[in-house]
Amino acid sequence: MSKNEFATFAGGCFWCMVRPFDEEPGIVSVVSGYTGGDTADPSYEEVKQGTSGHREAVQIEFEPAVFSYEKLLTIYWQQVDPTDDGGQFFDRGSQYRTAIFYHSDDQKAEAEASREQLEKHGPFQKPIVTEILPAQAFYPAEEEHQKFYKKNPEAYQQERIDSGRERFIQETWNK
């Protein structure tokens, strides 16, 4: 029996990054949180203000025998604008920049290969700026931010529309 693994992705607003992964077979959990900074156990306000050094991110526990890391990467790339170094959509600042935080050398290699494929064959004219970084301490966000799409479906959908994420995904990937 294979053991579960973790994948950690920063893709701007973490509310919008949970649902695409959440109900896939082999996904054990998707947790909204903070990673990549130096502040221990940061609050939402500290991260949102950009004072913690952390990025909003999701950490996914998955069964690799059922749902591969490669599939997770494919979903990830289709949720973000990997050419935007200033944040994601209407969320601006380093706390909203994209990154893949790898948990093993295999994940690092797969993430780098997927980024290279996207650069060569993807729909983007500008360079891919998404960083691939070693996983660091991950701090789960406050409970009100967990599974936001289920707790506040109208606000969640409005966020995806108002931010421009929904339109970007449609225009970029659903041609």
Q: Partners of 87 in the beta sheet?
A: 92
CB atoms within 10 A of CB 175: 6
Element (H, E) at 109: helix 105-121
* Residue 164 token pair: 């421009």
Cβ-count burial of 143 within 10 angstroms (0-12 exposed, 13-18 middle, 19+ buried)? Answer: exposed
| Contact by Cβ (8 Å): 81, 128 | no
Among residues 39, 3, 6, the alpha carbon closest in space to that of 21 is found at 6
* Catalytic annotation, residues: 13
The CA distance from 2 to 12, in Å, is: 31
| Contact by Cβ (8 Å): 132, 7 | no
CB atoms within 10 A of CB 118: 18
